[in-house]
Chains A and B, each alone.
Chain A
Amino acid sequence: MDQPSAEDPAARAAVETRGLTKRYRGGQLAVDSLDLTVPRGSVFGFLGPNGSGKTTTIRMLMGLIEPTAGRARLLGAPMPRAARSVLPRVGALIEGPALYPFLTGRDNLVRFDAADPTADPGTRAARVSAALERVGLTAAARKKARAYSLGMKQRLGLAAALLQPRELLVLDEPTNGLDPQGMREIRTLVRELADDGTTVFLSSHLLDEIEQVCTHAAVMTQGRLIVQGTVAELAAGSRGRLSITTPDPAEAVRVLKEHGVTDIVALEERVTGELPASGGSAPPLDLADLNAALVRAGVRVRAFGTERASLEDAFVALTGEGFDVAG
Protein backbone atom coordinates (compact mmCIF):
# COMPACT_ATOMS: atom_id res chain seq x y z
CA MET A 1 0.00 0.00 0.00
CA ASP A 2 1.30 3.43 -0.86
CA GLN A 3 1.67 5.64 2.16
CA PRO A 4 1.03 9.15 0.88
CA SER A 5 3.44 11.77 2.23
CA ALA A 6 2.26 14.50 4.56
CA GLU A 7 2.89 17.12 1.86
CA ASP A 8 0.45 15.50 -0.51
CA PRO A 9 -2.76 17.56 -0.14
CA ALA A 10 -4.86 14.49 -0.83
CA ALA A 11 -3.29 12.83 2.19
CA ARG A 12 -4.33 15.70 4.40
CA ALA A 13 -7.97 15.81 3.41
CA ALA A 14 -10.14 13.14 4.96
CA VAL A 15 -12.66 13.59 2.15
CA GLU A 16 -12.00 15.20 -1.17
CA THR A 17 -14.29 15.31 -4.18
CA ARG A 18 -13.77 16.89 -7.57
CA GLY A 19 -16.68 17.47 -9.93
CA LEU A 20 -18.63 14.74 -8.18
CA THR A 21 -21.98 14.34 -9.92
CA LYS A 22 -24.87 11.95 -9.62
CA ARG A 23 -27.83 11.78 -11.92
CA TYR A 24 -30.27 9.06 -10.90
CA ARG A 25 -31.79 6.83 -13.52
CA GLY A 26 -35.03 8.78 -13.36
CA GLY A 27 -33.09 11.82 -14.59
CA GLN A 28 -32.96 13.55 -11.20
CA LEU A 29 -29.70 15.46 -10.84
CA ALA A 30 -29.13 14.83 -7.14
CA VAL A 31 -25.53 16.06 -6.83
CA ASP A 32 -24.07 18.58 -9.27
CA SER A 33 -20.26 18.91 -9.67
CA LEU A 34 -19.41 18.86 -6.01
CA ASP A 35 -15.94 20.03 -4.94
CA LEU A 36 -15.73 19.22 -1.28
CA THR A 37 -12.66 19.21 0.97
CA VAL A 38 -12.94 17.92 4.51
CA PRO A 39 -9.71 18.59 6.47
CA ARG A 40 -8.43 15.83 8.71
CA GLY A 41 -9.29 16.34 12.34
CA SER A 42 -12.22 18.60 11.62
CA VAL A 43 -15.80 18.16 12.70
CA PHE A 44 -17.35 18.91 9.37
CA GLY A 45 -21.00 19.88 9.11
CA PHE A 46 -22.62 18.99 5.81
CA LEU A 47 -25.66 21.17 5.82
CA GLY A 48 -28.64 21.31 3.54
CA PRO A 49 -32.40 21.02 3.49
CA ASN A 50 -34.10 17.70 2.81
CA GLY A 51 -33.50 16.51 -0.73
CA SER A 52 -30.41 18.65 -1.26
CA GLY A 53 -28.19 15.65 -2.06
CA LYS A 54 -26.42 14.98 1.24
CA THR A 55 -27.21 11.27 1.42
CA THR A 56 -26.46 10.81 -2.28
CA THR A 57 -23.01 12.36 -1.73
CA ILE A 58 -22.36 10.10 1.25
CA ARG A 59 -23.42 7.03 -0.72
CA MET A 60 -20.94 7.93 -3.44
CA LEU A 61 -18.19 8.50 -0.87
CA MET A 62 -18.83 5.06 0.64
CA GLY A 63 -18.85 3.29 -2.72
CA LEU A 64 -22.51 2.32 -2.54
CA ILE A 65 -23.45 4.11 -5.74
CA GLU A 66 -21.40 4.91 -8.81
CA PRO A 67 -20.88 8.64 -9.57
CA THR A 68 -22.17 9.78 -12.96
CA ALA A 69 -19.07 11.98 -13.23
CA GLY A 70 -16.21 13.22 -11.11
CA ARG A 71 -14.18 11.46 -8.45
CA ALA A 72 -13.99 11.10 -4.72
CA ARG A 73 -11.10 10.35 -2.38
CA LEU A 74 -11.57 9.02 1.11
CA LEU A 75 -8.58 9.24 3.49
CA GLY A 76 -6.45 9.97 0.44
CA ALA A 77 -7.46 6.86 -1.53
CA PRO A 78 -9.77 6.78 -4.56
CA MET A 79 -13.27 5.44 -4.04
CA PRO A 80 -14.79 3.04 -4.80
CA ARG A 81 -11.56 1.38 -6.04
CA ALA A 82 -9.83 1.39 -2.65
CA ALA A 83 -12.92 0.36 -0.66
CA ARG A 84 -11.25 -2.78 0.73
CA SER A 85 -8.37 -0.88 2.33
CA VAL A 86 -10.15 2.36 3.25
CA LEU A 87 -13.57 1.40 4.56
CA PRO A 88 -12.33 -0.57 7.61
CA ARG A 89 -10.97 2.77 8.85
CA VAL A 90 -14.29 4.53 8.28
CA GLY A 91 -17.38 4.18 10.44
CA ALA A 92 -20.68 5.16 8.89
CA LEU A 93 -24.30 5.81 9.68
CA ILE A 94 -26.09 6.28 6.37
CA GLU A 95 -29.69 7.44 6.14
CA GLY A 96 -30.64 6.04 9.49
CA PRO A 97 -29.88 2.68 11.04
CA ALA A 98 -30.81 -0.66 9.45
CA LEU A 99 -31.00 -3.73 11.63
CA TYR A 100 -31.98 -7.38 11.58
CA PRO A 101 -35.21 -7.30 13.58
CA PHE A 102 -34.97 -10.99 14.45
CA LEU A 103 -31.51 -10.66 16.01
CA THR A 104 -30.68 -9.14 19.38
CA GLY A 105 -28.90 -5.81 19.52
CA ARG A 106 -25.68 -7.59 20.38
CA ASP A 107 -26.03 -10.15 17.57
CA ASN A 108 -26.66 -7.34 15.10
CA LEU A 109 -23.30 -5.85 16.00
CA VAL A 110 -21.62 -9.26 15.83
CA ARG A 111 -23.05 -9.71 12.34
CA PHE A 112 -21.78 -6.34 11.08
CA ASP A 113 -18.41 -6.92 12.68
CA ALA A 114 -18.09 -10.30 10.97
CA ALA A 115 -18.51 -8.52 7.65
CA ASP A 116 -15.38 -6.46 8.29
CA PRO A 117 -12.38 -8.34 6.89
CA THR A 118 -9.99 -6.64 9.30
CA ALA A 119 -12.00 -7.28 12.47
CA ASP A 120 -10.28 -9.67 14.83
CA PRO A 121 -12.76 -12.41 15.87
CA GLY A 122 -10.78 -12.87 19.07
CA THR A 123 -11.67 -9.40 20.34
CA ARG A 124 -15.14 -9.29 18.80
CA ALA A 125 -17.13 -9.90 21.97
CA ALA A 126 -15.17 -7.31 23.90
CA ARG A 127 -15.42 -4.70 21.14
CA VAL A 128 -19.16 -5.27 20.79
CA SER A 129 -19.62 -4.82 24.53
CA ALA A 130 -17.54 -1.64 24.48
CA ALA A 131 -19.56 -0.20 21.58
CA LEU A 132 -22.84 -1.02 23.33
CA GLU A 133 -21.54 0.60 26.49
CA ARG A 134 -20.46 3.69 24.63
CA VAL A 135 -23.95 4.37 23.25
CA GLY A 136 -25.70 3.37 26.47
CA LEU A 137 -27.36 0.20 25.20
CA THR A 138 -25.79 -2.36 27.51
CA ALA A 139 -29.04 -2.98 29.35
CA ALA A 140 -30.98 -3.58 26.11
CA ALA A 141 -28.28 -5.65 24.38
CA ARG A 142 -30.17 -8.91 24.72
CA LYS A 143 -33.45 -7.54 23.40
CA LYS A 144 -34.47 -8.32 19.83
CA ALA A 145 -33.90 -5.29 17.62
CA ARG A 146 -37.55 -5.29 16.55
CA ALA A 147 -38.40 -4.26 20.10
CA TYR A 148 -36.11 -1.22 19.91
CA SER A 149 -37.46 2.31 19.75
CA LEU A 150 -36.28 4.58 16.94
CA GLY A 151 -33.80 6.24 19.27
CA MET A 152 -32.41 2.88 20.39
CA LYS A 153 -32.04 1.80 16.78
CA GLN A 154 -30.17 5.01 16.05
CA ARG A 155 -27.86 4.30 18.97
CA LEU A 156 -27.25 0.74 17.80
CA GLY A 157 -26.43 2.06 14.32
CA LEU A 158 -23.89 4.39 15.93
CA ALA A 159 -22.49 1.50 17.93
CA ALA A 160 -21.92 -0.38 14.66
CA ALA A 161 -19.92 2.58 13.38
CA LEU A 162 -17.81 2.50 16.55
CA LEU A 163 -16.89 -1.20 16.56
CA GLN A 164 -13.33 -0.36 15.64
CA PRO A 165 -11.17 2.72 16.19
CA ARG A 166 -11.88 4.85 13.12
CA GLU A 167 -10.01 7.61 11.36
CA LEU A 168 -13.19 8.99 9.86
CA LEU A 169 -16.79 8.85 10.97
CA VAL A 170 -19.50 9.62 8.45
CA LEU A 171 -22.76 10.36 10.21
CA ASP A 172 -25.82 11.06 8.08
CA GLU A 173 -28.36 12.93 10.22
CA PRO A 174 -27.36 11.08 13.40
CA THR A 175 -29.83 12.84 15.67
CA ASN A 176 -32.93 12.00 13.62
CA GLY A 177 -35.56 10.46 15.82
CA LEU A 178 -33.75 11.22 19.06
CA ASP A 179 -35.19 13.10 22.00
CA PRO A 180 -33.36 16.24 23.20
CA GLN A 181 -31.45 14.19 25.75
CA GLY A 182 -30.36 11.76 23.04
CA MET A 183 -29.31 14.64 20.79
CA ARG A 184 -27.18 16.07 23.57
CA GLU A 185 -25.55 12.68 24.11
CA ILE A 186 -24.74 12.36 20.42
CA ARG A 187 -23.16 15.82 20.43
CA THR A 188 -21.07 14.88 23.45
CA LEU A 189 -20.04 11.66 21.74
CA VAL A 190 -19.04 13.52 18.57
CA ARG A 191 -16.91 15.94 20.60
CA GLU A 192 -15.23 13.05 22.44
CA LEU A 193 -14.44 11.28 19.19
CA ALA A 194 -13.09 14.49 17.68
CA ASP A 195 -10.87 14.98 20.71
CA ASP A 196 -9.42 11.54 20.04
CA GLY A 197 -8.37 12.75 16.60
CA THR A 198 -11.21 11.20 14.60
CA THR A 199 -12.46 13.28 11.69
CA VAL A 200 -16.24 13.54 11.85
CA PHE A 201 -18.31 14.26 8.76
CA LEU A 202 -21.78 15.07 9.96
CA SER A 203 -24.72 15.76 7.71
CA SER A 204 -27.72 17.56 9.03
CA HIS A 205 -30.60 19.74 8.06
CA LEU A 206 -30.51 21.39 11.48
CA LEU A 207 -28.45 24.55 11.60
CA ASP A 208 -28.01 24.84 15.33
CA GLU A 209 -26.80 21.26 15.53
CA ILE A 210 -23.99 22.07 13.11
CA GLU A 211 -23.24 25.29 14.89
CA GLN A 212 -22.91 23.57 18.23
CA VAL A 213 -20.42 20.86 17.35
CA CYS A 214 -18.74 21.64 14.05
CA THR A 215 -15.47 23.37 13.29
CA HIS A 216 -16.15 23.42 9.55
CA ALA A 217 -19.26 23.39 7.42
CA ALA A 218 -20.47 23.19 3.86
CA VAL A 219 -23.88 24.21 2.65
CA MET A 220 -25.79 22.38 -0.08
CA THR A 221 -28.96 23.32 -1.91
CA GLN A 222 -30.46 21.38 -4.77
CA GLY A 223 -27.36 19.30 -5.32
CA ARG A 224 -24.98 22.24 -5.44
CA LEU A 225 -22.40 23.31 -2.89
CA ILE A 226 -22.88 26.99 -2.16
CA VAL A 227 -20.16 27.51 0.37
CA GLN A 228 -17.66 25.70 2.56
CA GLY A 229 -15.21 26.82 5.20
CA THR A 230 -14.80 27.08 8.94
CA VAL A 231 -17.95 27.78 10.90
CA ALA A 232 -16.36 31.03 12.10
CA GLU A 233 -15.73 32.16 8.53
CA LEU A 234 -19.20 31.28 7.40
CA ALA A 235 -20.85 33.14 10.23
CA ALA A 236 -18.48 36.10 9.75
CA GLY A 237 -20.33 37.15 6.63
CA SER A 238 -23.19 38.38 8.76
CA ARG A 239 -21.33 38.96 11.97
CA GLY A 240 -21.72 42.05 14.05
CA ARG A 241 -24.76 43.60 12.50
CA LEU A 242 -25.47 46.55 14.73
CA SER A 243 -29.00 47.07 15.95
CA ILE A 244 -30.31 50.17 17.69
CA THR A 245 -33.80 50.94 18.88
CA THR A 246 -34.47 54.64 19.16
CA PRO A 247 -37.31 57.16 18.76
CA ASP A 248 -34.83 59.39 16.82
CA PRO A 249 -33.85 57.24 13.84
CA ALA A 250 -32.86 60.07 11.47
CA GLU A 251 -30.32 61.50 13.88
CA ALA A 252 -29.04 58.01 14.70
CA VAL A 253 -28.42 57.26 11.02
CA ARG A 254 -26.38 60.43 10.65
CA VAL A 255 -24.17 59.59 13.66
CA LEU A 256 -23.68 55.99 12.51
CA LYS A 257 -22.62 57.14 9.04
CA GLU A 258 -20.07 59.44 10.62
CA HIS A 259 -18.54 56.44 12.39
CA GLY A 260 -18.25 54.39 9.22
CA VAL A 261 -21.20 52.07 9.70
CA THR A 262 -22.41 50.85 6.30
CA ASP A 263 -25.56 49.29 4.84
CA ILE A 264 -27.75 51.21 7.27
CA VAL A 265 -31.40 50.33 7.29
CA ALA A 266 -33.88 52.38 9.31
CA LEU A 267 -37.26 50.77 9.90
CA GLU A 268 -39.49 52.92 12.12
CA GLU A 269 -37.72 52.87 15.49
CA ARG A 270 -35.17 50.24 14.58
CA VAL A 271 -31.89 51.07 12.89
CA THR A 272 -29.48 48.34 11.81
CA GLY A 273 -26.18 48.48 10.01
CA GLU A 274 -22.96 46.74 9.19
CA LEU A 275 -20.06 47.57 11.52
CA PRO A 276 -16.91 48.65 9.69
CA ALA A 277 -14.49 45.77 9.10
CA SER A 278 -11.70 45.81 11.65
CA GLY A 279 -8.13 45.48 10.49
CA GLY A 280 -6.08 47.74 8.24
CA SER A 281 -4.68 50.95 9.73
CA ALA A 282 -7.86 52.19 11.44
CA PRO A 283 -8.34 51.05 15.06
CA PRO A 284 -11.40 48.82 15.56
CA LEU A 285 -14.55 50.69 16.39
CA ASP A 286 -15.42 50.36 20.05
CA LEU A 287 -19.14 49.91 20.59
CA ALA A 288 -18.99 51.83 23.86
CA ASP A 289 -17.57 54.88 22.03
CA LEU A 290 -20.26 54.60 19.39
CA ASN A 291 -22.97 54.51 22.03
CA ALA A 292 -21.48 57.52 23.81
CA ALA A 293 -21.39 59.40 20.50
CA LEU A 294 -25.08 58.67 19.90
CA VAL A 295 -26.02 59.93 23.35
CA ARG A 296 -23.86 63.02 22.94
CA ALA A 297 -25.72 63.83 19.74
CA GLY A 298 -28.98 63.70 21.66
CA VAL A 299 -30.18 60.35 20.31
CA ARG A 300 -32.35 58.64 22.87
CA VAL A 301 -31.24 55.01 22.80
CA ARG A 302 -33.67 52.34 24.04
CA ALA A 303 -31.61 49.32 23.00
CA PHE A 304 -28.16 48.95 21.63
CA GLY A 305 -26.18 45.87 20.62
CA THR A 306 -25.04 43.51 17.92
CA GLU A 307 -27.37 40.79 16.74
CA ARG A 308 -26.05 37.32 17.39
CA ALA A 309 -24.35 36.09 14.25
CA SER A 310 -25.53 32.69 13.19
CA LEU A 311 -25.20 30.23 10.38
CA GLU A 312 -28.83 30.81 9.66
CA ASP A 313 -28.09 34.47 8.87
CA ALA A 314 -25.26 33.27 6.68
CA PHE A 315 -27.54 30.83 4.99
CA VAL A 316 -30.24 33.37 4.32
CA ALA A 317 -27.62 35.79 3.04
CA LEU A 318 -26.33 33.09 0.68
CA THR A 319 -29.57 31.78 -0.68
CA GLY A 320 -31.93 34.67 -0.12
CA GLU A 321 -34.49 32.29 1.29
CA GLY A 322 -35.39 30.56 4.49
CA PHE A 323 -33.58 27.42 5.36
CA ASP A 324 -36.28 24.82 5.53
CA VAL A 325 -37.35 25.12 1.94
CA ALA A 326 -37.00 21.70 0.41
CA GLY A 327 -35.05 21.52 -2.80
Chain B
Amino acid sequence: MEGVLNQLPIGLSIGAVLLLIALGLTFTFGQMGVINMAHGEFIMAGAYTAYLLQSVGFLIALPAAFGVAGVMGLVLERLLIRHFYGRPLDTLLLTWGVSLVLQQAARDLFGAPNVQVVSPTWLRGGVGILPYNRLFIMALAVLSVVAIWAYLHRTGQGRRMRAVMQNRRLAATSGINTGRVDQVTFFIGSGLAGIAGVALTLIGPVGPTLGTYYIVDAFLVVVAGGLGQLKGAVLAALGLGLLNSYAEFWSDASLAKVIVFVAIIGFLQLRPQGLFVLRSRALS
Protein backbone atom coordinates (compact mmCIF):
# COMPACT_ATOMS: atom_id res chain seq x y z
CA MET B 1 0.00 0.00 0.00
CA GLU B 2 2.77 2.41 0.89
CA GLY B 3 4.45 1.68 -2.43
CA VAL B 4 1.27 2.58 -4.24
CA LEU B 5 1.02 5.89 -2.41
CA ASN B 6 4.68 6.65 -3.03
CA GLN B 7 4.02 6.54 -6.76
CA LEU B 8 1.60 9.42 -6.44
CA PRO B 9 4.11 12.28 -6.03
CA ILE B 10 6.34 10.62 -8.62
CA GLY B 11 3.51 10.49 -11.16
CA LEU B 12 2.32 14.00 -10.37
CA SER B 13 5.77 15.55 -10.61
CA ILE B 14 6.47 13.81 -13.92
CA GLY B 15 3.08 15.07 -15.05
CA ALA B 16 4.12 18.56 -13.96
CA VAL B 17 7.32 18.37 -16.01
CA LEU B 18 5.39 17.05 -19.02
CA LEU B 19 3.01 19.94 -18.67
CA LEU B 20 5.80 22.52 -18.73
CA ILE B 21 7.17 20.88 -21.87
CA ALA B 22 3.79 20.41 -23.53
CA LEU B 23 2.68 24.02 -23.03
CA GLY B 24 5.35 25.29 -25.39
CA LEU B 25 4.60 22.58 -27.94
CA THR B 26 0.87 23.10 -27.86
CA PHE B 27 1.19 26.85 -28.36
CA THR B 28 3.72 26.67 -31.17
CA PHE B 29 1.63 24.00 -32.84
CA GLY B 30 -1.71 25.67 -32.16
CA GLN B 31 -0.50 29.06 -33.36
CA MET B 32 1.95 28.31 -36.12
CA GLY B 33 1.27 24.69 -37.03
CA VAL B 34 4.91 23.95 -36.28
CA ILE B 35 5.99 20.60 -34.89
CA ASN B 36 9.30 21.50 -33.28
CA MET B 37 11.39 18.37 -32.79
CA ALA B 38 14.18 20.45 -31.22
CA HIS B 39 11.93 21.39 -28.31
CA GLY B 40 13.41 18.54 -26.26
CA GLU B 41 16.86 20.10 -26.59
CA PHE B 42 15.58 23.26 -24.91
CA ILE B 43 14.87 21.04 -21.88
CA MET B 44 18.43 19.81 -22.07
CA ALA B 45 19.72 23.37 -22.39
CA GLY B 46 17.76 24.38 -19.30
CA ALA B 47 19.15 21.46 -17.35
CA TYR B 48 22.75 22.29 -18.30
CA THR B 49 22.11 25.90 -17.35
CA ALA B 50 21.22 24.68 -13.87
CA TYR B 51 24.36 22.54 -13.91
CA LEU B 52 26.55 25.52 -14.79
CA LEU B 53 24.90 27.75 -12.22
CA GLN B 54 24.74 25.29 -9.33
CA SER B 55 27.45 27.11 -7.41
CA VAL B 56 25.59 30.41 -7.90
CA GLY B 57 22.21 29.23 -6.71
CA PHE B 58 19.37 27.01 -7.76
CA LEU B 59 16.71 29.72 -7.87
CA ILE B 60 18.87 31.86 -10.19
CA ALA B 61 18.90 28.92 -12.56
CA LEU B 62 15.15 29.16 -13.18
CA PRO B 63 15.03 32.58 -14.88
CA ALA B 64 18.43 31.91 -16.47
CA ALA B 65 17.24 28.64 -18.02
CA PHE B 66 14.05 30.34 -19.17
CA GLY B 67 16.14 32.99 -20.90
CA VAL B 68 18.69 30.61 -22.42
CA ALA B 69 16.07 28.20 -23.79
CA GLY B 70 13.82 31.08 -24.83
CA VAL B 71 16.55 32.75 -26.83
CA MET B 72 17.45 29.42 -28.45
CA GLY B 73 13.82 29.05 -29.50
CA LEU B 74 13.71 32.59 -30.80
CA VAL B 75 16.89 32.14 -32.83
CA LEU B 76 15.60 28.86 -34.26
CA GLU B 77 12.36 30.53 -35.28
CA ARG B 78 14.08 33.53 -36.85
CA LEU B 79 16.84 31.62 -38.62
CA LEU B 80 14.99 28.55 -39.83
CA ILE B 81 11.40 27.83 -38.90
CA ARG B 82 9.84 31.05 -40.20
CA HIS B 83 11.01 30.25 -43.71
CA PHE B 84 9.04 27.01 -43.62
CA TYR B 85 5.65 28.09 -42.26
CA GLY B 86 2.87 26.15 -43.95
CA ARG B 87 5.24 23.23 -44.65
CA PRO B 88 4.89 21.05 -41.52
CA LEU B 89 6.77 18.04 -42.88
CA ASP B 90 9.81 20.10 -43.88
CA THR B 91 9.75 21.80 -40.49
CA LEU B 92 9.59 18.44 -38.75
CA LEU B 93 12.65 17.09 -40.55
CA LEU B 94 14.52 20.35 -40.22
CA THR B 95 13.98 20.69 -36.48
CA TRP B 96 14.83 17.01 -36.03
CA GLY B 97 18.16 17.78 -37.65
CA VAL B 98 18.62 20.76 -35.35
CA SER B 99 17.85 18.53 -32.40
CA LEU B 100 20.67 16.12 -33.37
CA VAL B 101 23.08 19.01 -33.86
CA LEU B 102 22.24 20.43 -30.45
CA GLN B 103 22.74 17.04 -28.79
CA GLN B 104 26.15 16.76 -30.41
CA ALA B 105 26.98 20.30 -29.32
CA ALA B 106 26.12 19.33 -25.73
CA ARG B 107 28.39 16.28 -26.01
CA ASP B 108 31.24 18.49 -27.22
CA LEU B 109 30.67 21.09 -24.51
CA PHE B 110 29.89 18.95 -21.49
CA GLY B 111 31.05 15.44 -22.46
CA ALA B 112 28.94 12.40 -23.29
CA PRO B 113 28.51 11.01 -19.73
CA ASN B 114 25.70 12.28 -17.56
CA VAL B 115 26.42 14.95 -14.98
CA GLN B 116 24.69 15.39 -11.66
CA VAL B 117 23.31 18.66 -10.34
CA VAL B 118 23.51 18.80 -6.55
CA SER B 119 20.07 19.67 -5.24
CA PRO B 120 19.96 22.58 -2.81
CA THR B 121 19.81 21.45 0.81
CA TRP B 122 16.41 23.04 1.38
CA LEU B 123 14.90 20.67 -1.16
CA ARG B 124 16.11 17.51 0.60
CA GLY B 125 13.77 15.52 2.78
CA GLY B 126 10.05 15.85 2.74
CA VAL B 127 6.76 15.59 4.57
CA GLY B 128 5.21 12.12 4.79
CA ILE B 129 5.15 10.57 1.36
CA LEU B 130 5.83 13.94 -0.28
CA PRO B 131 9.51 14.67 -0.98
CA TYR B 132 10.26 18.40 -1.11
CA ASN B 133 11.87 18.20 -4.54
CA ARG B 134 8.73 16.64 -6.07
CA LEU B 135 6.54 19.19 -4.29
CA PHE B 136 8.72 21.96 -5.65
CA ILE B 137 8.32 20.69 -9.20
CA MET B 138 4.55 20.57 -8.80
CA ALA B 139 4.52 24.11 -7.39
CA LEU B 140 6.66 25.25 -10.32
CA ALA B 141 4.16 23.83 -12.78
CA VAL B 142 1.20 25.35 -10.95
CA LEU B 143 2.91 28.74 -10.89
CA SER B 144 3.77 28.50 -14.58
CA VAL B 145 0.21 27.58 -15.53
CA VAL B 146 -1.19 30.46 -13.48
CA ALA B 147 1.34 32.82 -15.04
CA ILE B 148 0.52 31.62 -18.56
CA TRP B 149 -3.19 31.88 -17.89
CA ALA B 150 -2.81 35.42 -16.58
CA TYR B 151 -0.62 36.29 -19.54
CA LEU B 152 -3.15 34.97 -22.05
CA HIS B 153 -6.20 36.46 -20.40
CA ARG B 154 -5.00 39.61 -18.68
CA THR B 155 -2.40 41.19 -20.95
CA GLY B 156 -2.55 42.80 -24.37
CA GLN B 157 0.24 40.63 -25.73
CA GLY B 158 -1.61 37.50 -24.53
CA ARG B 159 -4.78 38.72 -26.16
CA ARG B 160 -2.91 39.17 -29.43
CA MET B 161 -1.55 35.66 -29.09
CA ARG B 162 -5.03 34.20 -28.66
CA ALA B 163 -6.26 36.24 -31.62
CA VAL B 164 -3.48 34.95 -33.86
CA MET B 165 -4.16 31.40 -32.70
CA GLN B 166 -7.85 31.69 -33.56
CA ASN B 167 -7.57 33.44 -36.92
CA ARG B 168 -4.16 34.43 -38.19
CA ARG B 169 -5.35 36.21 -41.34
CA LEU B 170 -7.95 38.22 -39.48
CA ALA B 171 -5.35 39.14 -36.88
CA ALA B 172 -3.08 40.48 -39.61
CA THR B 173 -5.86 42.54 -41.21
CA SER B 174 -6.74 43.88 -37.75
CA GLY B 175 -3.32 45.49 -37.53
CA ILE B 176 -1.55 42.82 -35.48
CA ASN B 177 2.04 42.12 -36.44
CA THR B 178 1.65 38.35 -36.46
CA GLY B 179 5.35 37.70 -36.99
CA ARG B 180 6.16 39.53 -33.76
CA VAL B 181 3.51 37.54 -31.89
CA ASP B 182 5.00 34.31 -33.26
CA GLN B 183 8.40 35.29 -31.92
CA VAL B 184 7.08 35.97 -28.44
CA THR B 185 5.20 32.67 -28.45
CA PHE B 186 8.35 30.83 -29.43
CA PHE B 187 10.35 32.58 -26.75
CA ILE B 188 7.89 31.76 -23.98
CA GLY B 189 7.22 28.20 -25.11
CA SER B 190 10.91 27.40 -25.38
CA GLY B 191 11.62 29.13 -22.09
CA LEU B 192 9.12 26.88 -20.33
CA ALA B 193 10.97 23.86 -21.67
CA GLY B 194 14.10 25.34 -20.09
CA ILE B 195 12.28 25.55 -16.74
CA ALA B 196 11.26 21.90 -17.17
CA GLY B 197 14.93 21.10 -17.66
CA VAL B 198 15.83 22.75 -14.36
CA ALA B 199 13.05 20.78 -12.65
CA LEU B 200 14.42 17.53 -14.05
CA THR B 201 17.82 18.15 -12.44
CA LEU B 202 16.09 17.68 -9.10
CA ILE B 203 15.08 14.10 -9.86
CA GLY B 204 17.78 12.73 -12.11
CA PRO B 205 21.08 13.15 -13.92
CA VAL B 206 21.60 15.48 -16.89
CA GLY B 207 22.84 14.25 -20.25
CA PRO B 208 22.89 15.34 -23.90
CA THR B 209 19.86 13.19 -24.69
CA LEU B 210 17.77 14.26 -21.68
CA GLY B 211 15.14 15.84 -23.89
CA THR B 212 14.50 12.77 -25.98
CA TYR B 213 13.16 10.89 -22.94
CA TYR B 214 10.35 13.38 -22.44
CA ILE B 215 9.58 14.83 -25.84
CA VAL B 216 7.47 11.91 -27.08
CA ASP B 217 5.32 11.91 -23.94
CA ALA B 218 4.96 15.67 -24.22
CA PHE B 219 3.69 15.28 -27.79
CA LEU B 220 1.19 12.71 -26.51
CA VAL B 221 0.01 15.28 -23.96
CA VAL B 222 -0.50 17.84 -26.72
CA VAL B 223 -2.49 15.43 -28.86
CA ALA B 224 -4.58 14.05 -26.00
CA GLY B 225 -5.22 17.49 -24.49
CA GLY B 226 -6.44 19.14 -27.68
CA LEU B 227 -4.28 21.61 -29.59
CA GLY B 228 -3.65 25.00 -28.07
CA GLN B 229 -5.75 24.20 -25.02
CA LEU B 230 -4.43 25.09 -21.58
CA LYS B 231 -7.05 23.12 -19.66
CA GLY B 232 -6.64 20.07 -21.85
CA ALA B 233 -2.87 20.14 -21.51
CA VAL B 234 -3.08 20.28 -17.71
CA LEU B 235 -5.41 17.28 -17.45
CA ALA B 236 -3.61 15.25 -20.09
CA ALA B 237 -0.19 15.90 -18.52
CA LEU B 238 -1.28 14.84 -15.04
CA GLY B 239 -3.10 11.82 -16.44
CA LEU B 240 -0.11 10.74 -18.47
CA GLY B 241 2.33 11.32 -15.60
CA LEU B 242 0.26 9.16 -13.27
CA LEU B 243 -0.39 6.52 -15.91
CA ASN B 244 3.34 6.35 -16.62
CA SER B 245 4.43 5.97 -13.04
CA TYR B 246 1.76 3.43 -12.10
CA ALA B 247 2.25 1.38 -15.25
CA GLU B 248 5.95 1.31 -14.42
CA PHE B 249 5.22 0.41 -10.81
CA TRP B 250 3.03 -2.56 -11.67
CA SER B 251 5.05 -3.82 -14.62
CA ASP B 252 8.40 -2.56 -15.85
CA ALA B 253 9.68 0.44 -17.77
CA SER B 254 9.36 -0.94 -21.30
CA LEU B 255 6.00 -2.61 -20.74
CA ALA B 256 4.83 0.65 -19.17
CA LYS B 257 5.58 2.48 -22.43
CA VAL B 258 3.46 -0.03 -24.30
CA ILE B 259 0.60 0.36 -21.82
CA VAL B 260 0.73 4.15 -22.12
CA PHE B 261 0.73 4.04 -25.91
CA VAL B 262 -2.18 1.63 -26.01
CA ALA B 263 -4.12 3.80 -23.56
CA ILE B 264 -3.50 6.95 -25.63
CA ILE B 265 -4.44 5.25 -28.89
CA GLY B 266 -7.61 3.93 -27.26
CA PHE B 267 -8.41 7.40 -25.96
CA LEU B 268 -7.88 9.00 -29.35
CA GLN B 269 -10.17 6.43 -30.93
CA LEU B 270 -12.90 7.71 -28.61
CA ARG B 271 -12.00 11.41 -28.86
CA PRO B 272 -9.86 12.09 -31.93
CA GLN B 273 -10.02 15.84 -31.27
CA GLY B 274 -8.47 15.49 -27.80
CA LEU B 275 -10.01 16.50 -24.49
CA PHE B 276 -10.93 20.02 -25.55
CA VAL B 277 -11.35 21.74 -28.88
CA LEU B 278 -11.87 25.26 -30.12
CA ARG B 279 -15.62 25.40 -30.20
CA SER B 280 -18.05 28.05 -31.33
CA ARG B 281 -20.83 28.85 -33.70
CA ALA B 282 -18.37 30.50 -36.02
CA LEU B 283 -16.37 27.33 -36.46
CA SER B 284 -19.16 24.81 -36.59
Partners in one complex: no
Residues of A within 8 A of B (CB): none
